[in-house]
Amino acid sequence: MLFSSITFLFLFLPIVMAVYYLVPEKMKNPVLLAASIIFYAWGEPVYVVLMILSILLNYACGMDIALKAENERKARNSMIFVVTVNVLILGFFKYYGFLLDIVNGILPVNLPYRELALPIGISFFTFQEISYIVDVYRGKAKAQSSLIRFALYIAMFPQLIAGPIVRYEDIEPQLEQRHVSAKKLGQGAFLFIIGLAKKAILANTMGEIFEEISAISASNLSVMMAWLGCISYAFQIYFDFSGYSDMAIGLGRMFGFEFKKNFDYPYISKSITEFWRRWHISLSSWFREYVYIPLGGNQCSISKNIANLLIVWALTGMWHGAAWNFIVWGIYYGVILIMEKYVWGAVVDSLPKVVRRIYTMVLILIGWVFFFSPSLGYALRYLFAMVGGGAGIADSNAFFLLLTHWLFYLLAILGSSAAGSRILKSVIRIWGNSVVRTVVTGILFFGMLFISVAFLITDTYQPFLYFRF
């Protein structure tokens, strides 16, 4: 079940909300947990068992680590054991086919294997479990004694399949007691609608354009068409990812939870370093806290720091998918970040703001080519087309796509910058009377909801990019 499905919007969510608000306080967690299990089982009837077993394992090991807190060696061994098991489970479902392909390519063997469907959201709930276990071991979080509360932390449907990655210490008090109100419900609903509009109207439309362009052989792409395809994908993935994050944060607020912001207008960045402070903030924070810092972070020699950055970014690439192009994508960003830190960062900072933004955006777009390509060979051919190695500079099809979709590109530009939000707020603030302002706000957001639903009903192209995670 997806947030952007008619079933979720008009059946699942209204029923869950009604029951949740009607039951007494002590029943809210069990109701939300039951709804989350049903939500996951709707699309993953088999793998819901895997998720439940994973929850039980990490709950028991968290309690075990807490009991062994006075014995550093035993506590550390328990922590290492459960983290290893979590990584092995994730690795089996996500990477075993990729590893066997490597083995078959290197050795004179042909080990057959069956492709397994990747459990939706396994990367997200596994990372949350690892962060919980490590934080309990470090003493930064108390082991959760309530199985229902712990299970809710892992399985909560608003952030289960698409993030953000929520650290246990950030949500622990809310699992025990949280405040629900009409104000929070309204704020959450508005944020959810904004996220839904991002997904249904902009991400899906840009995805359709990208699919049309990517169906053309790279050698037959004009420079204009190749860049248009890359730009379309950049908008698609941003509005898809940030849209789902907005929906998740909005849903969480509707149930009384406060999740941290996950995207902060990354395409306005003036360096790649800044970009990764703004893009998928919860994932970047996770790798910094649980991989980069334990490796030594920047509190070491320059050579060791460079090695740490390359390791972290190679792992970041692997997290996004079991293929060489994702690893190259991760290392690509690792190299750029190293160069900004030690080589040309000061030069970039001295450039005019517009030049810095162009520099950043070009590098981001090149990175997306590695990300969306099915193979490294295709990525190189596509990049070659972007610099004139395809079918000329421009073509009529590229102009046609621009002319027929100019409004969506305009909305995408506004929506991926703070300008869109400022314009929306300005329209609302025109009305001085608070009652009129409330009515106008309601009309705008219900209009946005209506248009989003119309797109969902009429559009057959509704990809879910998080399937690979």
Q: pLDDT tens digits for the chain (469 residues)?
A: 788 889 999 999 999 999 999 999 899 999 999 999 999 888 778 889 999 999 999 999 999 999 998 898 999 999 999 999 999 999 888 888 888 888 887 877 777 777 777 788 888 899 999 999 999 999 999 999 999 999 999 999 998 877 788 899 889 999 988 888 888 898 999 999 999 999 999 999 999 999 999 999 998 999 999 999 999 999 999 999 999 999 999 999 999 999 999 999 999 999 999 999 999 999 999 999 999 999 988 888 899 999 999 999 999 999 988 888 999 999 999 999 999 999 998 999 999 999 999 999 999 999 999 999 988 999 999 999 999 888 889 999 999 999 999 999 999 999 998 888 888 778 777 776 777 877 888 888 889 899 999 998 887 777 767 666 5
Residue 464, domain member (yes or no)? no
Are residues 133 and 61 in contact, defined by beta-carbon separation less than 8 angstroms?
yes
pTM of the model: 0.92
Single out the residue in 145, 178, 211 at which a domain terminates: 178
Which tokens belong to 324? Answer: 């060489």
Are residues 376 and 207 in contact, defined by beta-carbon separation less than 8 angstroms?
no
Same domain, 305 and 388: yes
Residue 437, domain member (yes or no)? yes
Residue 469, domain member (yes or no)? no
Same domain, 386 and 443: yes
Count H helices and E strands in the chain, helices first. Answer: 24, 0
Q: Is 350 helix (H, G, I), strand (E, B) or coil?
A: helix
What residues make up the domain containing 405? 184-458
Same domain, 248 and 317: yes
Measured CA to CA, the distance from residue 393 to residue 381 in angstroms comes to: 16
Single out the residue in 116, 148, 178 at which a domain terminates: 178
Same domain, 84 and 173: yes
Residue 392, domain member (yes or no)? yes
Single out the residue in 178, 212, 243 at which a domain terminates: 178
Residue 467, domain member (yes or no)? no
Same domain, 91 and 206: no
What is Dmax (Cα atoms) for the chain?
A: 77
Number of domains comprising the chain: 2
Same domain, 233 and 250: yes
Same domain, 106 and 208: no
In sequence order, which residues have a C-beta less than 8 Å from that of residue 398 and are 6 or more positions away? 222, 224, 225, 228
Are residues 124 and 55 in contact, defined by beta-carbon separation less than 8 angstroms?
no
> Does the N-terminal peptide bond of residue 164 adopt cis geometry, omega within 30 degrees of 0?
yes
Active site residues: 320
